[in-house]
Amino acid sequence: MTRALLALALLIGLVLPGFAAEKPTLVLGDTRFKGLAVMKGEVEAFLGIPFARPPVGALRWEPPQAPDYSAGVHQATSFAPACYQGDHITSWYRDVVAGFGGDPQIVVAPRVSEDCLYLNIWRPADAESGKLPVIVYVHGGSNQGGWSYEPNYHGHQLASRGAVVVSVAYRLGPFGFFAHPELGSSNFAMQDIAAALAWVQQWIAAAGGDPGRVTVVGESAGASNISLLLAMPGADGLYHRLVHQSAGWVIREMPTLAMAQAQGLALEEAVGAQNLQELRELPAAQLDQAAKAVYADSGFDPVAGDDVLPVALSGRIALGQLPAVDLLIGSNADEWKIYLTPDDTLDGWLEENLPADLHAQAATVLAALGDERRALDAAITGQMYVCPSMDLAAAIDAAGGRSWMYYFSRVRPGDKAAGMGAYHGAELPYVFDTHDSWLPTDVGDRTLTAAMIEYWLSFAHSGDPASKGLPVWPAFTPEQNLVMQLDTHLQLLEHPSAPLCALLEQQ
């Protein structure tokens, strides 16, 4: 999750001192990529593989173009630059590290560039062509930051347990979430994600992966984006399962193309450009800086109403047009805790989000969850994450697919960890077995890590998280409203936010 400039060193450090072997090779077309042997040679990694041509110059704000694998030998031993971004995620990580009492200066920003459409692959060294389930990870970062190789996203541990893991990049901020009346397309970040999945369909068998068993995993904005694959005609057939971690807002509401085009024109005016061509010629830094002001109130999200996403996800749900895929979905107990300010109050939230006649009932429901700050966190977490996620799980069930829902509540040991709670992103080191050195980690965390990896890998293998030796996890249905609590004790329960969700449905 941190120390981007040390990421490669951490990965290479998994090789035993003195271990030497010929570099593993991945052949794509007429190109040979030389990778790394890691984890005592048990896993092979191929880093910085291009899945599209660089989206620069005339290709800024154009759909991703297929890469050239015509000839040559290329080193795939280091990560490519992150997609162009400011310090949003770097600052976020520093705050989290400081919250646990660590040194925030260990977080170093990655190199950034518009030339960033690359992916990373981890596979078992003995992988046979086309045999293993594929896990494709899409990072979060509010769609304005983040990168595919933050240390918590390294896939070596999952690969060592029998999967091919792929982490992908997509254009961010004004480069990936820009619309303009002169453009024939928009939703470029979504097109990048679909292009990476199309790459997987074409090439992953060469890396040992089964293109018929592709599970797309996303967290935060990454989860938000992958949920829109369900409404994206161009993504049909490119994946089979989704793991949706800590998101939900886009399930109910999306900006429209007209709104996004108006922002595009506002950006054009803000930088003094006369047309799209002049916008394309601007330096990336100038464009990114100007966008911070123009998009300050809205942020960056995919939009509904273009040829990429003709209908919002809520519209597809209402029409009963979702594909019958398998879905594992959930969120953390304290998603909003670290974002609360002293000015935020429960009364203010009730006033803004519920009619007056429901205030007393909602206050009673929330009071059962803890003191006012805990209740406020639960209210926002429920509204933004839990309740829409339940909507999607129910919609997948109605479409003939299957859904499993989780509730992650593990809080790390220690007083500082108690102040952080089960925060936004807290589940990631457990999913990938990549616990940072500054995170207090005890035997309970290790046990939970093993259980979550088993559940996630079982889901990737079969579409069902059922795993021998772990508690039975039944599929979620509106009638059987049970979720798996992921903590040092695994148990089925009704989600603590379910009464709040029922109230929010009444407004």
DSSP per residue, 275-314: SHHHHHTS-HHHHHHHHHHHTTTT-----BSSSSSSS-HH
Residue 155 falls inside a structural domain: yes
**Does residue 184 form part of some domain?**
yes
Interstrand relation of 241-245 and 209-219 (parallel, antiparallel or unpaired): parallel
Give domain status of residue 480, yes or no: no
Using alpha carbons only, give the angle 468, 474, 475 rounded to the nearest 5 degrees. 125
Are 125 and 42 a contacting pair, CB within 8 Å? yes
Q: Is residue 392 part of a domain?
A: no
308 lies in which domain range?
4-323
CATH of the domain at 52: 3.40.50.1820
Instruction: Tally the domains of the chain.
Output: 1
Residue 448: inside a domain = no
In a domain, 472, yes or no: no
**How far is CA 30 from each of CA 27, 33, 73, rounded to the nearest angstrom?**
7, 10, 9
Distance of CA 168 to the CA centre of its chain: 10
The answer to whether 52 touches 64, Cβ cutoff 8 Å, is: yes
Kindly list the averaged pLDDT for each block of 10 residues, start to end, along the chain of length 507. Answer: 41 41 90 97 98 97 96 95 96 97 95 98 92 98 97 97 98 98 96 98 97 98 98 97 97 96 97 96 97 96 97 96 97 97 95 94 91 95 97 96 98 96 98 97 98 98 96 93 96 95 87
Strand 118-124 to 164-168 pairing: antiparallel
Residue 191 near residue 171, CB atoms below 8 Å: no
Question: Is 475:395 a contact under the CB 8 Å cutoff?
Answer: no
Contact partners, residue 152, CB within 8 Å, separation at least 6: 1, 428, 429, 432, 434, 436
Residue 29: per-residue pLDDT: 96
Angle between helices 498-506 and 387-398 (to 10 degrees): 80
Q: How far apart are CA 254 and CA 300, in angstroms?
A: 11
- Asked whether residue 501 is assigned to any structural domain, the reply reads no
Give the pLDDT confidence score for residue 7 in this predicted structure. Answer: 43
Rg, the chain, Cα only: 22
Comparing CA positions, the residue from 114, 80, 122 lying closest to residue 207 is 122
Q: Round to whole Å and give the CA distance between 73 and 30.
A: 9
Cβ atoms of residues 47 and 149 within 8 Å: yes
Residue 35 burial class via C-beta count within 10 angstroms: exposed 0-12, middle 13-18, buried 19 and up: buried
Sign of CA dihedral 230, 236, 242, 245: negative
Whether 462 is covered by a domain: the verdict is no
The closest of 356, 355, 376 to 365, measured between CA atoms, is 376
Q: In this structure, is the dihedral angle defined by the CA atoms of residues 337, 342, 347 and 353, taken in order, positive or negative?
A: negative
